[in-house]
Amino acid sequence: MNKTGKTQNDALSPGYASKGFLIPVALASLILLITMGIRQTVGLFVHPIVETTAMGIAEVSLAFATGQLVWGAFQPLFGAWADKKGPFPVLLTGAILLACGQLLTIWATSFLPLALTQGLLSPAGAAAGSFSLLIGIVAARLPPDKSSVASGLISAGNSMGQFSFALIVQALINLRGYTTGLIFLAASSLASIIPAWFLCGEKNAIQAARPAIHNKENTVGLKQQLRIAARTPSYLLLHAGFFTCSFHVAFLVTHLPGEISLCGHAASVSAMSISLIGLCNIAGSIFAGILGKHFRMKYILAALYAFRALMIAVYLFSPKTETTFYIFAVTTGLTWLATVPPTAGIVGKLFGTRYLATLFGFTLLTHQIGGFLGAWFGGLAMQQSGNLLWVWYLDVALALFAAVVNLPIREEKTRTQAI
């Protein structure tokens, strides 16, 4: 109980239940549900594409791995565009690119067309409607004490998308082939334009909210802010830890279905496992966002990464039954993208929210370099040794590295932002 008579654990106080909080968070969550629901189910298409084309697993993995890198590369570009010109043109462009990427994949029967569709168009479109932009839009409308919880709730939209899209897409692949699944994803992408219109057209638009809440942040230009960030050790350490996050996520998204198939289980086990990851990450993301109000976010990140290392080690020494994969999916889901709220929160603490979409976008670029390697290395391992064992061990080592490098981070604002 504090001096005002309210408990600190009242995460959804009247301020959080207000229209000004819930509506933008719900709309951003819905957009992320669609864009990341599409991104997180790409692994379900890897083996159908291999089986119906002349491409091998290494070629298909490289095309999808390129998409991981492109998704990250477009984060700061779209973030800077939204920071300068407003978010709706970015979200509209992203929806169209994402839809085109899915539809054109139907005719991608060799490496170069697949690299164009799933390595460029689709990930670029998803980047326009991903965490950095959506969290940046909403955080700019809220006071700092609410941004952590908002980030957690928005991240939960990704998890719900993964849970629902995995089951729907796998059912469509089983019934009508993978081209039907791609058509469904394209239509879903275009549907995201509707919540984007409402999010960007609200009375409390991002430009109107900034002067009242963040007027102290307007003294620094984007280029100067980027130079400050590049010289901030804590920001660079955050990049190093986030690099390993996507290695883990992209590796599993792309190759967990193959691992499950390698162990003799049906495709339905893969779909259920991916869905469970998404479902459990709803709780993980929201809980991480709430914890960010009460604990230093660097400790939350260190704990999440350490838990990943332990979880993978337990999986490696367990019998590969269906139950094992479901338990692994549940525990994986608890940390899956729970790293996003504390990472975005630290960026906001260091530099404010004026250029959060751009600065967090750069951390996601580093994040996706790790994703490129995770997806690609999995394909190389399968081609060279017929299993993923050495990539699993590398994943454990990287998770431990991430846990350690987050500990020296200082969460105080830089001098320039503290004026």
Enumerate residues 6+ apart whose C-beta is below 8 A from 16.
22, 146, 149
User: CB atoms < 10 A from the CB of 307, how many?
Assistant: 17
**C-alpha dihedral (131, 132, 134, 135), degrees to nearest 10:** 90
| Residue 7 forms part of a structural domain | no
CB contact at 8 A, 406 and 302: yes
pTM: 0.71
Q: Tokens 């966002």 sit at which residue?
A: 289
Signed CA dihedral, 345, 348, 354, 358: sign only: negative
- Which CATH number do you get for residue 292? 1.20.1250.20
Nearest to 250 by CA among 97, 119, 344, 343: 119
CA separation for the pair 119, 31 (Å, rounded): 21
User: CB atoms < 10 A from the CB of 213, how many?
Assistant: 15
| Residue 41 forms part of a structural domain | yes
CA separation for the pair 291, 301 (Å, rounded): 11
Nearest to 338 by CA among 284, 388, 269, 376: 284
Residue type, 193: I
| Residue 10 forms part of a structural domain | no
Mean pLDDT, contiguous 10-residue spans, the chain (419 residues): 42 52 85 88 85 87 84 84 86 95 93 94 91 77 68 74 83 90 95 92 46 50 86 92 88 85 87 84 80 85 94 93 93 85 86 80 85 86 87 94 93 55
| Residue 4 forms part of a structural domain | no
What is the number of structural domains in the chain? Answer: 1
Domain that holds residue 167: 19-418
| Residue 294 forms part of a structural domain | yes
Can you say how many angstroms the Cα of residue 369 is from the centroid of all Cα atoms in its chain? Answer: 13
| Residue 261 forms part of a structural domain | yes
CA separation for the pair 86, 92 (Å, rounded): 11
Longest CA–CA span in the chain (Å) reads: 69
CB contact at 8 A, 83 and 353: no
Angle at 306 between CA 37 and CA 324, to 5 degrees: 60
User: CB atoms < 10 A from the CB of 418, how many?
Assistant: 9
| Residue 305 forms part of a structural domain | yes
Give the model's pLDDT for residue 19: 60
Decide: helix, strand or coil at residue 263.
coil
User: How does DSSP assign 198-251, residue by residue?
Assistant: HHHTSSS-HHHHHHHH-GGGGGS-HHHHHHHHHT-HHHHHHHHHHHHHHHHHHH
| Residue 191 forms part of a structural domain | yes
